[in-house]
Amino acid sequence: MSVPTVPALSLPAGAAGSRIVGLGHHQPEKVLTNDDIARFVETNDEWIRSRTGIVTRHVAADDVTVADMATAAARHALDDAGVDPLDVDLVIVATATAADRSPNTAGRVAYALRTGVQPGASTPEGEDEPDLRNVVGPAVIDVNVACSGFAHAVGLADQAIRTGTSRTAVVIGAEKLTAVTDWSDRSTCILTADGAGAAVLQAADAPAVGPVVWGSEPELTPAVLIEAPADKFAQDGRAVFKWAITRAADRARRVVEASGLSLDDVGVLVAHQANLRIIEPLAKGLGLEDRVVVTDITESGNTSAASIPMGLSKWWHAGKIPAGTPALLFGFGGGFAWAGQVVLTPER
Ligand code: UT7
């Protein structure tokens, strides 16, 4: 019997690298102050500020979904980049709080970007249903790595672009943590908040997104939970805090080393916004305390996978972050997982 010769499989031509070309964010309008929370649990503004740095947080209305916020952030990022939503061939959403298992959040975002209809909304009265026959939409992927989800998702999008399976990707971190908050638990309800942030990544002639460095800490696997059947956020705050103070700088240093840069080159630190008492020592431990250190936690609380892209986008659009500057993104949390990369901030 003759064995047929199997032809070599072909792979698409990749790109030299990827680059962030636009940033966007969305926060619900409703703001909850520390004093507001002190009306329903035994706490006070002084304790919350001194232990966490949080002053306010934004809370989504009952009928607002993770996909709604993700879509708004994606539209803002696409507008910022001047990229047509129809050119997007990959949507990745990092979230741990989507209420539905299917369609995933990225699928809903892709539908909304394609049709202009908000996720979950019906077509406006008098308008025809969009005709989507024979439309090939983007790849749609949700990534659940809780608070480090966005850095993981940027890593996946960068690799998809470098290997030629995407040219234009929208990467989003979006969370409705208040939907999984136990409002009678003062140790957690003071922390959690809602929002979304997004970045548009495109193929580039030279890498402007460094390699993702990712890993996990098996001993802390049960330290951050949103577990069935209660489906409420719970954590061993002290254990996570201890890890963040003693280990996070080492992991973040590996991220910078992998990029081929040194910490001296890094101009911006965007760490997961879990606690100001973690962000500031981390910046100091890395010798970055005199650079731009994003501290959006004070006004936005902890928004898990949304915290890095939202902080980056808010500070970028506020003009607090310089253009074309190496920024260290570093996320950590549920899993227990961490991930990061050095990215060049977009050109203005
Ligand atoms: O994003 C996912 C990753 N998670 C993190 O990065 C969280 C890291 N951990 C933290 O940020 C901190 O551990 C917390 C902010 C969560 C807690 O701060 P802490 O300084 O570690 O407080 P604690 O849990 O050690 O509690 C100290 C005391 C306790 O009272 P006793 O036992 O000493 O009498 C708590 O009952 O503070 C009490 N407490 C509060 N008091 C007033 C806890 N929550 C509150 C509150 N108001 N809201």
Q: What local confidence, expressed as pLDDT, does residue 199 receive? A: 98
Percent of the chain with pLDDT over 70: 99
Q: Which of 147, 152, 189, 275 is catalytic?
A: 147
| HEC profile of 180-220 | HCCCCCCCCCCCECEEEEEEEEEEECCCCECCCEEEECHHH
Q: What local confidence, expressed as pLDDT, does residue 116 receive? A: 83
**Taken in order 37, 39, 41, 46, is the CA torsion positive or negative?**
positive
Q: Check if 34 is active-site.
A: no
Q: Check if 302 is active-site.
A: yes
- What are 265's two structure tokens? 């080159």
Q: pLDDT tens, 295-314?
A: 999 999 999 999 999 999 99
Specify whether domain 17-118+136-204 bears CATH 3.40.47.10.
yes
Q: Ligand 1 center to residue 145 CA distance, Å?
A: 23
Q: pLDDT tens, 31-51?
A: 999 999 999 999 999 999 999
Instruction: State how far Cα 212 lies from the chain centre.
Output: 14
* Cα separations in angstroms, 121 against 26, 37, 112, 130, 169: 18, 32, 9, 13, 24
Q: Ligand 1 center to residue 327 CA distance, Å?
A: 30
CA angle 71, 73, 74 (to 5 degrees): 60
Q: What local confidence, expressed as pLDDT, does residue 117 receive? A: 78
Q: What local confidence, expressed as pLDDT, does residue 184 receive? A: 98
Q: What is the pTM of this model?
A: 0.96
Q: What local confidence, expressed as pLDDT, does residue 63 receive? A: 95
Residue 184, exposed/middle/buried by CB under 10 A (0-12, 13-18, 19+)?
A: exposed
Q: pLDDT averaged over the chain?
A: 96
Domain ranges of the chain: 17-118+136-204, 213-344
Q: Check if 26 is active-site.
A: no
Q: Which atom of ligand 1 is nearest to the CA of 332?
A: 3
Q: Give, for ligand 1, the residue of 32, 51, 188 to mutate: max count of ligand atoms closer than 8 Å to Cβ.
A: 51
Q: Which atom of ligand 1 is nearest to the CA of 37?
A: 48
Specify whether domain 213-344 bears CATH 3.40.50.2300.
no
Q: Ligand 1 center to residue 121 CA distance, Å?
A: 39
Q: What local confidence, expressed as pLDDT, does residue 126 receive? A: 75
Q: Which residues of the chain have pLDDT under 50?
A: none
- E strands along the chain, which residues? 17-26, 31-33, 56-58, 90-94, 139-143, 168-176, 194-204, 213-216, 224-227, 232-235, 268-271, 292-293, 326-333, 337-344
Q: Which atom of ligand 1 is nearest to the CA of 190?
A: 48
* Cα separations in angstroms, 231 against 37, 198, 218: 21, 26, 22
Amino acid identity of residue 229, one-letter, is P
Q: Ligand 1 center to residue 259 CA distance, Å?
A: 35
Amino acid identity of residue 153, one-letter, is A
